[in-house]
Chain A
Amino acid sequence: MDLFEYQGKQYFARYGIPVSPGGVADTVEEALGVAERVGFPVVVKAQVKVGGRGKAGGVKLATTPDEVATHATSILGLDIKGHVVKRLWVEHASDIAKEYYASFTLDRPNKVHLGMLSAQGGVEIEVVAAENPEAIAMLPIDPVNGLDPASARRWVDEAGLDEAARDQAAELLVALYRCYTEGDCDLAEINPLILTPGGRVHALDAKVTLDDNAAFRHPEWDEFRGDEFEDPRERRAREKGLNYIGLDGTVGIIANGAGLAMSTLDVVNQVGGSAANFLDIGGGANADVMAAALEVINADPKVRSIFVNIFGGITRVDEVAKGVLEALGRVEIASPIVLRLDGTNAVEGRAILAPHLSDRLVTEPTMLEAARRAVALAR
Chain B
Amino acid sequence: MSIFVDETTTVIVQGLTGSQGRFHGLRNRAYGTRVVGGVTPGKGGTDVEGIPVFNSVKEAVETTGATASFIAVPPRFASAAILEAAEGGIEFIVCITEGIPAQDEALTYNRLVHEHPGVRLLGPNCPGIISPGKCNIGITSGDIALAGGPVGIVSRSGTLTYQALYELSQKGVGQTTCVGIGGDPVPGTNFIDCLEAFQADPETRAVMMIGEIGGSEEERAAEWIAKNMDKPVVAYVAGVTAPPGRKMGHAGAIISGSKGTAQAKMAALAEAGVRVCQNPTEAGEAMVEIVRAL
Residues of A whose CB lies within 8 Å of any CB of B are 106, 108-109, 111-113, 126, 142-144, 181, 184, 186, 211, 213-214, 216-217, 243, 245, 247, 255-263, 265-270, 275, 278, 280, 283, 311-314, 342-344, 366-368
Contact = CB atoms under 8 A, between A and B. Distances in A.
Task: Identify which of A109, A263, A275 gathers the most chain B CB atoms within 10 Å of its CB.
Answer: A263
Contacts of A366: 281
A266 B107 contact: no
Contacts of A144: 107, 110-111, 114
B225 to A, nearest CB: 16
A243 B238 CA distance: 17
A106 B102 contact: yes
Contact of B280 (A142, A184, A263): A263
B144 A265 contact: no
B275 interface: no
Given A108-B186, A184-B103, A311-B162, A262 B144 contact: no
Contact of A257 (B111, B158, B166, B257): B158
A277 B152 CA distance: 33
B118 interface: no
A200 to B, nearest CB: 30
Contact of A344 (B141, B155, B242, B278): B141
Contacts of A261: 248-249
Contacts of B281: 366-368
Contacts of B241: 265-266, 268-269, 275
Contacts of A270: 278-279
Nearest to A49: B245
Given A109-B215, A257-B158, A311-B159, A262 B238 contact: yes
A245 B246 contact: yes
A295 to B, nearest CB: 20
A125 B121 CA distance: 35
B139 A112 contact: no
A126 B244 CA distance: 16
A113 B106 contact: yes
B18 interface: no
Nearest to B242: A262
A278 B242 CA distance: 9
Task: Identify which of A186, A213, A265 gathers the most chain B CB atoms within 10 Å of its CB.
Answer: A213
B212 A343 contact: no
Contacts of B216: 108-109
Contact of B186 (A106, A260, A368): A106
Contact of B250 (A108, A256, A258, A367): A258
Contacts of B238: 259-260, 262-263, 266
Nearest to B282: A368
Contacts of B114: 144
Nearest to B280: A263
B183 interface: yes
